[in-house]
Amino acid sequence: MFHQPDLFEQPRRATPAPDLPAMVERISLVSKRPRYALLVLNLIAKAAGTNGSLGPYVASDGGLVPVRDWLCQALAPLANRDCRRLAMVELGRQDAALAILAF
């Protein structure tokens, strides 16, 4: 059920982190991309406050940014490193150039 905190209610402390090897094993069993999932969780954990929560905004160079946008900015450099993606972009450019020449 939805919990509406009292105005003067103190936030609950975060529960202790689970055993890291157990968490890695669990993620590797349920995720198709465990390294990516662990990377995202690591970013969130590093940016989380002292109470273990994050959001709705994260302090960034440009001020306060929504968590989703902050994660996208943090993960964007990974897109430039994917050889398959770069090859697909180059193939698309070649196809577009050929289509323009044929037109």
- 13 lies in a domain? no
Query: Which residues sit opposite 60 in a β-bridge?
Result: 63
Neighbours of 39 (CB within 10 A): 15
Whether 48 and 58 have beta carbons less than 8 Å apart is answered as no
Which pLDDT tens digit goes with each residue over 32-88?
Answer: 999 999 999 999 988 887 777 888 999 888 789 999 999 998 998 887 777 887 888
pTM summary value: 0.59
Cα distance between residue 52 and residue 46, in whole Å: 10
Q: In the block, which residue shows the tokens 């001020």?
A: 63
Q: Which domain holds residue 90?
A: 20-102
- 4 lies in a domain? no
Count of the separate structural domains present in the chain: 1
